[in-house]
């Protein structure tokens, strides 16, 4: 088995490192899950606006993350970097979508009345 193929090889090790970078791809274009879940409520128009921008950030983060995985796979000639990055992408998208759907009601706080 070549060095990049096994779980002790460079492909596996680089895959782990790249997978841990995936959250950084999402943190620049997106707010935290807490912020999404807390402030996504407030009426259909506001929720639609929020979903539009969250989905745009998810797309941006996903493209960046998958490019990391592709680059790692090219360098190591191993599938591990791409597979690990793809797994982390799925987890991040699930967690953001979960926060967004949990925010349908938000905190039911009128943020405009807050000082």
- Return per-residue pLDDT of the chain as tens, 115 residues: 454 466 778 999 999 999 999 999 999 999 998 888 777 766 788 888 888 999 999 999 999 999 999 999 999 999 999 999 999 999 999 999 988 887 555 555 555 665 5
**Residue 2 resides in a domain:** no
**Residue 93 resides in a domain:** yes
**Residue 36 resides in a domain:** yes
Please count the other Cβ atoms lying within 10 Å of the Cβ belonging to residue 114.
6
**Residue 45 resides in a domain:** yes
d(CA 1, CA 6): 7
**Residue 4 resides in a domain:** no
**Residue 111 resides in a domain:** no
**Residue 76 resides in a domain:** yes
Instruction: Return the pLDDT at 1.
Output: 46
Give me the number of domains the chain comprises: 1
Domain that holds residue 56: 10-106
């Amino acid at each position: 088995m070549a060095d990049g193929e096994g779980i002790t090889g460079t492909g596996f090790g680089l895959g782990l490192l790249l997978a841990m970078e995936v959250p950084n791809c999402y943190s620049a274009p997106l707010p935290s899950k807490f912020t999404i879940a807390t402030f996504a409520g407030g009426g259909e128009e506001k929720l639609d606006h929020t979903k539009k921008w969250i989905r745009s950030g998810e797309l941006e983060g996903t493209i960046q993350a998958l490019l990391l995985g592709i680059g790692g796979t090219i360098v190591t000639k191993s599938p591990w970097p791409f597979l690990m990055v793809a797994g982390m992408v799925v987890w991040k998208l699930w967690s953001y979508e979960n926060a967004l759907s949990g925010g349908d009601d938000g905190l039911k706080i009128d943020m405009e009345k807050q000082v």
